[in-house]
Structure 1
Amino acid sequence: MVEVVDLRKSFGSGPTAVHALRGVSFTVRRGELTALKGRSGSGKTTLLNLVGGLDRPSGGQIRIDGRDLAELGEDGLLELRRDRIGFVFQSFGLLPILTAAENVGVPMRLCRTPVAEREERVRELLALVGLADHAQQRPGELSGGQQQRVAIARALANRPELIIADEPTGQLDSDTGRSVMRLLRAVVRSEGVTALVATHDPTLMELADRVLDLRDGQIVSD
């Protein structure tokens, strides 16, 4: 599903350049949950941004389901992010004025999904993440764990093939984090998606199919 070859990313130039990624190569098989671990500053977020088409590499190659991201223009990357990749962020990224149901429905509105189909998918996803009874509550009325569950449901809205999650339990206590991680593992299985998750959480590492260890911009173990 994901193939990364000799990926490099630098910020700045000359002697002051910061080399965030230094020749990273790995693959993620379809239907696999891969955890990406590493200390702060190791390059995890940079790597996820590149794989998700949110940034361009300085060198190397990224293929998503056989498509070379370097060959896609901005419109192509936008379509990829909208239709084939779901994102889950540490800060949840929910719109505070919208209800849980409305937040989950946002990606489908952007794709002009028919109203009846959209509403049915929203109900299905909120039930999947255990929030069917919280559909009309706004983010400020939900706990951190509940907000992250809404974010996971939203990431699944357009039936993506790949989920990219950056420290999804970073703002949660350990018990809530474990609950969210188990949910993510269950969702990968039930929805048949592939997931690449940056995390410090040992619970996810135990639940993952594989763990990639990133240090100083390089994969040191797989």
Structure 2
Amino acid sequence: MTQTTRATQDRTGAQEPMLRVREVHRSFGSGAQAVHALRGVSFEVRRGELTALKGRSGSGKTTLLNVVGGLDAPSRGAVELDGTDLSGLDEAGLLELRRDRIGFVFQSFGLIPVLTAAENVGVPMRLRKVPARQREERARTLLALVGLSDHAEQRPGELSGGQQQRVAVARALANEPDLIIADEPTGQLDSETGRQIMELLRAVVRSEGVTALVATHDPTLMELADRVVELRDGRVADPADDAAAGVGAGAVAR
């Protein structure tokens, strides 16, 4: 399959993949009762790309994101992030990877209710022991990036759902990660707010030079993504199978 992307040559350097997923399997349980959530998933994401991961509920999207993010280990196969094989890291190494190189955005926002927007953005930097003044400056810069300069001192309960998700995006960028992983980031938002969040993610990938892997049912993100990968029953769907069956493409690389 010929693959082209909208990522530019100068952003992707020598076009080396930033993320490699190789024949990843993940099973839960054993024997006849085993559940095979992932069945030999393979794909690559180049630096500076936004990749949308689509599929029905139960197709393996969240399991795959957990494996890519170092929150879970594959039963077989390998995940490489910018040349680092996650299977070679111990728990301390995985913790450092998640803290320093990966930013997470969750469907439920995941903000700490008693902290202000700026303080929530600053949490990942606290874990890295970034000095207070530097942390505060970075938090305000990121809130400006996501259009929330005037809401830095408000707590999550004082913000709309879309504003809370913008704070979550800013928090994901706090430690200048290589990769942003987002699991259904518009799942609790109305369609217009969801479009705004998707456009924000697209803009952030461009402006900050990060790579993003986003699980979504939202067709808006698929329109904005550089690459769309579909999972079906724990496998990457093959467009050739769809073409033979006379249906739409199942996995698209644009």
TM-score range, shorter chain: over 0.9
Q: What is the match of residue 35 of structure 1?
A: 52
1:128 pairs with 2:145: yes
Rounded Cα–Cα distance in structure 1 between residues aligned with 2:92 and 2:127: 14
* Aligned 1:77-116 pairs, distance under 5 A: 77-116=94-133
Q: What is the match of residue 153 of structure 1?
A: 170
Aligned length: 222
Q: What is the match of residue 213 of structure 2?
A: 196
1:75 pairs with 2:96: no
Which structure has more RCO (C-alpha within 8 Å, separation ≥ 6)?
1
Q: What is the CA-CA distance between 1:119 and the residue it aligns to?
A: 1.0
Rounded Cα–Cα distance in structure 1 between residues aligned with 2:74 and 2:22: 11
Rounded Cα–Cα distance in structure 2 between residues aligned with 1:120 and 1:38: 39
Give 5+ residue unaligned stretches, structure 1.
none
Instruction: State the AA in 2 paired with 1:203.
Output: T
Q: What is the CA-CA distance between 1:11 and the residue it aligns to?
A: 0.5
Rounded Cα–Cα distance in structure 2 between residues aligned with 1:58 and 1:2: 19
Q: What is the match of residue 143 of structure 1?
A: 160
Q: What is the CA-CA distance between 1:139 and the residue it aligns to?
A: 0.3
Measured on the aligned residues, the alpha-carbon RMSD in Å equals 0.5
TM-score normalized by the length of structure 2: 0.87
| Deviations, residues 15-57 of structure 1 (Å, cap 9, x unaligned) | 0100000000000000000000000000000000000000011
Percent of pairs identical after alignment?
78
Q: What is the CA-CA distance between 1:111 and the residue it aligns to?
A: 0.4
Instruction: State the AA in 1 paired with 2:148.
Output: L
Rounded Cα–Cα distance in structure 1 between residues aligned with 2:146 and 2:22: 35
SS of equivalent to 1:151: helix
Q: What is the match of residue 8 of structure 1?
A: 25
Q: What is the match of residue 61 of structure 1?
A: 78
1:187 pairs with 2:204: yes
Q: What is the CA-CA distance between 1:115 and the residue it aligns to?
A: 1.4
* Aligned 1:204-219 pairs, distance under 5 A: 204-219=221-236
TM-score normalized by the length of structure 1: 0.99
Q: Where do 4+ consecutive residues of structure 1 move more than 2 Å?
A: none
| Deviations, residues 170-198 of structure 1 (Å, cap 9, x unaligned) | 00000000000000000000000000000
Larger radius of gyration: 2
